[in-house]
Structure 1
Amino acid sequence: MGILSRASYVVRSKLNAVLNRAEDPNETLDYSYEQMRDQLQEVKQGIADLTTQKKRLEIQKRRLEENVEKHNEQAREAVRQDRDDLAREALEKKKSKMNEIEDLEAQIADLQESQDRLVEKKDDLQSQIEEFRTRKETLKARHDAAEAETRVSEAMTGAGDEMSDVTRAIERSEEQTEEMEARAEAMDELQDTGAFENALSEEDRIDRELEQGRADTEVESELATLKGELGEGAEADGADETESESSESSATEPETEVADAEIESELEELRGDEE
């Protein structure tokens, strides 16, 4: 319901209440019921706002985590290239991003607690509204029945207004009751279809996923570049290690032959002792 429509509805309700005050004393109950429904709507809006803010912080956290991994790889590559200055700078950036992640996690946890409290409040308030609605309708029905009976008795005894006034009062009461019941059923139907739970629009979600996809593509491209660079460095290191192993094996061959001769000599002595 728009602002103008709601204002018009309130004005009409007040005018009808003034005109029908003598035969409709249930205005207070109806007004209280509307107030409770307004409070419920405010709570749901608060939940939607908290959910939106929490999702934004979670997106920021994921981006920072990606930066941490990037700086970690930068530090490793810098160490491989004997660039301690670059490695130190990368580690400092990594530490800064990790501190930001800790702050975001604390904020996200606070928002989650607030959201849980609001959801609990919404559920309690909704239960109260349903209970109040049932009780209100029961009280109105009892009042209308008692009023109708009184007016009929007064009309029949000549102590009250005309019977037509009683009939009109009953008709107005029934119309108002049916309108209220129809609105209550409409609200229940909207609740069942999940209309109130759609806190974020579809367009916002698509935008976020597209943005995340672009960020992932950039990260994957940078990762592929780093892997290519690391592959070239690994081939060069492998060649150096092969040459080093060859020189070491050639240097240790005489030592190995001497050790083998000593072992064979000792083995012959053990065989002679056994014979």
Structure 2
Amino acid sequence: MGIFSRTRDIFAANMTELLDRSEDPAKMIRMIILEMEETLVEVRASAARSIADGKEMRRALKRLEDLQSSWTEKAELALSKDREDLAKAALIERQKATDMAEGLRAEIDQIDETLKTYEADISKLQGKLREARARQNAIAARLESAVTRAKAREILHGGRTEDAFSKFDVLERRADFAEGRADALGMTGPKSLEEEIAELQASEKVDAELEAMKAALKRKGD
């Protein structure tokens, strides 16, 4: 396919319609962008060749114009020396240079028109590329958002989340039981009669020992 045909197809392409028909919009838009980038490179390369050709032709045109001036001077010199035959031959050569120069001017004009077409095509291709890349970014953002929302819904409504919360309930019940045991160990009930009598006896014994210690200290002091 020629470069101009490919470029015109890209200009005529409706990206929205292409994406609607595609089973994989992200893949389709990557292909569209790749095609545009390749075409843009080819258009720029062709434009560069045309610019180079135009410069070469302009140099050749300048040489032909100088040649025309040179033959004109030679014809005038021949006429000044009464050599009409030489003057005529010089004018014939000048005409050849003139014809070649006119042909070059026509080619240069054609190259200039082609360059204008290239310039317009490059501008349009860049616009299409910006549109395609914007679509690509929008599609990527939508896909990322969809994946994120799907994960969030799976967390909120999925079976794994329910299992996790049911395990939390079991752990909380275990913690309640452990705290209950600790509280139970610290509990004390009412004292029995024997326990109360035993405490009194122990207290009496301590008091007797205390009195004995006080008496001993007093004797030492006396």
TM tier, smaller = 0.5 to 0.7
Structure 2 counterpart of 1:91, one-letter code: L
CA RMSD of aligned residues (A): 1.9
Alignment TM-score, normalising by the size of structure 2: 0.58
Q: Deviation digits for residues 16-65 of structure 1, max 9, x if unmatched? A: xxxxxxxx972332232122111111111111011011111111110000
1:131 and 2:162 aligned: no
**1:150 maps to which residue?**
150
**2:169 maps to which residue?**
none
Structure 1 counterpart of 2:154, one-letter code: E
Unaligned runs of 5+ in 1: 1-23, 161-275
1:77 and 2:77 aligned: yes
Query: Residues 147 and 64 from structure 1, CA distance in 2 versus in 1: closer, same or farther, beyond 3 angstroms?
Result: same
Give runs of aligned pairs for residues 89-128 of structure 1, distance below 5 A: 89-128=89-128
The secondary structure found in structure 2 opposite 1:82 is: coil
1:50 and 2:50 aligned: yes
**2:30 maps to which residue?**
30
Q: What is the CA–CA distance in structure 2 between the aligned matches of 1:159 and 1:124, rounded to whole Å?
A: 53
Give runs of aligned pairs for residues 256-267 of structure 1, distance below 5 A: none
Q: What is the CA–CA distance in structure 2 between the aligned matches of 1:63 and 1:51, rounded to whole Å?
A: 19
Q: What is the CA–CA distance in structure 2 between the aligned matches of 1:159 and 1:82, rounded to whole Å?
A: 114
The secondary structure found in structure 2 opposite 1:86 is: helix
**1:245 maps to which residue?**
none
Q: What is the CA–CA distance in structure 2 between the aligned matches of 1:145 and 1:72, rounded to whole Å?
A: 79
Assess if the C-alpha contact under 8 Å between 2:40 and 2:122 holds in 1: yes
1:64 and 2:64 aligned: yes
Percentage identity across paired residues of the two chains = 26
Structure 2 counterpart of 1:75, one-letter code: A
Q: Deviation digits for residues 170-206 of structure 1, max 9, x if unmatched? A: xxxxxxxxxxxxxxxxxxxxxxxxxxxxxxxxxxxxx
Q: Deviation digits for residues 100-135 of structure 1, max 9, x if unmatched? A: 111111111111111100110000110111122122
Runs of 4+ in 1 over 6 A off after TM superposition: none
Structure 1 counterpart of 2:74, one-letter code: Q
Q: What is the CA–CA distance in structure 1 between the aligned matches of 2:71 and 2:100, rounded to whole Å?
A: 14
Q: What is the CA–CA distance in structure 1 between the aligned matches of 2:151 and 2:25, rounded to whole Å?
A: 15
Structure 2 counterpart of 1:111, one-letter code: I
Question: Could you tell me how far 1:146 is from its partner in structure 2?
Answer: 1.3
The secondary structure found in structure 1 opposite 2:93 is: helix
Structure 1 counterpart of 2:140, one-letter code: K
Q: Deviation digits for residues 195-245 of structure 1, max 9, x if unmatched? A: xxxxxxxxxxxxxxxxxxxxxxxxxxxxxxxxxxxxxxxxxxxxxxxxxxx
Structure 2 counterpart of 1:124, one-letter code: K
Question: Could you tell me how far 1:70 is from its partner in structure 2?
Answer: 0.2
Q: What is the CA–CA distance in structure 2 between the aligned matches of 1:41 and 1:144, rounded to whole Å?
A: 31
Assess if the C-alpha contact under 8 Å between 2:32 and 2:132 holds in 1: no
**1:181 maps to which residue?**
none
Max Rg structure: 2
The secondary structure found in structure 2 opposite 1:26 is: helix
Give runs of aligned pairs for residues 210-225 of structure 1, distance below 5 A: none
Structure 2 counterpart of 1:132, one-letter code: A
Q: What is the CA–CA distance in structure 1 between the aligned matches of 2:111 and 2:159, rounded to whole Å?
A: 65
